[in-house]
Amino acid sequence: MPEPVSATRREELLAIAAGLFAEKGFKNTTVRDIADAAGILSGSLYHHFDSKESMVDEILQTFQTELFGQYEDIIAGDLDPLAKLERAVVVSFETIDKHRDEVAIFQNEAAYLLTFDRFSYLAERNRQSREVWLTLLQGGIDAGVLRDDLDLELTYRFIRDTVWVAVSWYRPGGRHTHTEIARQYLSILLEGIHHHA
Amino acid sequence: MPEPVSATRREELLAIAAGLFAEKGFKNTTVRDIADAAGILSGSLYHHFDSKESMVDEILQTFQTELFGQYEDIIAGDLDPLAKLERAVVVSFETIDKHRDEVAIFQNEAAYLLTFDRFSYLAERNRQSREVWLTLLQGGIDAGVLRDDLDLELTYRFIRDTVWVAVSWYRPGGRHTHTEIARQYLSILLEGIHHHA
DNA sequence: TACATTACCAAGCAATTGCTTGGTTGGGAT
DNA sequence: ATCCCAACCAAGCAATTGCTTGGTAATGTA
């Protein structure tokens, strides 16, 4: 197993931990599991990190900074409302493709991690995410390009859930690329599955 | 092996356990948590049940028997294809309303529980669920009432995910009834959010 | 040569876990 | 009056948990 020259040992260990946290859950992954996967003893992990919590913390912070930066760029950009919404969906699926473990951890463990003070920033991220989607949807409605007879909150949840839950089954190299999935999901979301003559 | 004792106390304890499993996860809920919530000592649970696994087993089996029975009724019924699909969505939201804890446990813990032999029937239920939705979708396509340009597998996942993930935020007595949520979700699914003149 | 740094090992501790064992209580049937 | 039995308690065991401690080996750098 050749290792990327650029990856420090620290980043390697974080990637291993992320894979296990995503697959088995945070609480259900022991420091011995992580150490075994890395080929070292559990105690040796504490040369690199303070605690198991610090590992998942670093994993989540890194990817969230990147993701929310992209959302901000979209909103601040000059695309038309519909294109902005489409772009946000595509970016989300790109993130699922590029940061599958991190997204899975955020999806599955956020509720549990929020019981610790040090992870209270996750609640802020959720609030931020809601604002992004509501802003994009309202923009489309104001421009007359989206239906105005739907409950905005329900529509937001519909989109959010549909996009992120795909991380539970999407695998790179599967029968659909993330681009193709985004395209079809957008088609259903915008046009519906009903046949229009 | 303790057998049915006072059916009511047994059901009480199962309901308490289900609430905790749904809220905190199976592995992350201790037998002491369950006992505390029931106002007894942890050892006393073993008068009613063999193990923690037996509890979650009984919880899942009971509700799945009911749910899949309803799906079978719909497919065997004489509604037209579109109405069958709509009915299946409505029944699913009714189930989320009526068996919130059980659905949440199935959604969140199935992957973990499947690592134990005794829960292999959960994989069979997943297969069964996929067949139900694919049958309903194919029926609509054959009847010319649903679009035939979408990937069937992706459409199935879209519907499945959208319906069941709602259990993560739906609360009875919230601002939307499960009937209202089903209605709006169906509207988006069938017609899309795009504004059609 | 002397020292520093990085990455790890070996051993184990305190807390928590699921579960076991033997015993107690109180209401209902005989 | 006696007995039964469902429901529980009190105590604790063995395994697993996150994490600590003190040390070692290899690779630098002065």
pLDDT at B4 over 80: no
Cα–Cα distance between A162 and A177 in angstroms, integer? Answer: 17
Backbone phi, psi, residue B29, to 5°: -105, 125
**What contacts B52, CB < 8 A, 6 or more positions away?**
B26, B31
> Residue B112, Cβ neighbours under 10 Å: how many?
16
Q: Which residues on neighbouring strands pair with residue B194, listed in sequence order?
A: A146
pLDDT at A1 over 90: no
**What contacts B137, CB < 8 A, 6 or more positions away?**
B85, B146, B152, B155, B156, B159
Asked if the C-beta of A139 comes within 8 angstroms of chain B's C-beta atoms, the answer is no
Q: Which residues on neighbouring strands pair with residue A146, listed in sequence order?
A: B194
pLDDT tens digits for range A157-183: 999 999 999 999 999 999 999 999 999
Alpha-helical (H) ranges within A25-145 are: 31-38, 52-76, 81-98, 100-113, 121-142
Proximity of residue B31 CB to strand C below 7 A? yes
pLDDT tens digits for range A98-138: 999 999 999 999 999 999 999 999 999 999 999 999 999 99
Cα–Cα distance between A185 and B153 in angstroms, integer? Answer: 12
Amino acid identity for residue A176 in this structure: H
Give the CA dihedral A53, A59, A60, A66, nearest 10 degrees.
160
Quote the mean pLDDT of chain B: 92
3-class secondary structure, B29: coil
Instruction: Report CA(B49)–C1'(D7) in Å, whole number.
Output: 13
Query: Residue A129 corresponds to which tokens in the numbers above?
Result: 């995410």
Mutation target to probe the B interface, by most B beta carbons within 10 A, among A129, A134, A195, A196 is: A195
Judge: B165–A169 Cβ closer than 8 Å, yes or no: no
For chain A, the distance separating the N- and C-terminal CA atoms, rounded to the nearest angstrom, is 56
Asked if the C-beta of B116 comes within 8 angstroms of chain A's C-beta atoms, the answer is no
Query: Residue B146 corresponds to which tokens in the numbers above?
Result: 């649903």
Asked if the C-beta of B25 comes within 8 angstroms of chain A's C-beta atoms, the answer is yes
- The per-residue pLDDT for B43 is 87
> Which bases along strand D come within 7 Å of a protein CB atom?
6-12, 16-22
Give me the mean pLDDT over the B3-22 stretch: 80
- The per-residue pLDDT for A4 is 35
> Going from the N-terminus, what domains does chain B have, and what CATH number goes with each?
56-191 (1.10.357.10)
Cα–Cα distance between B161 and B157 in angstroms, integer? Answer: 6
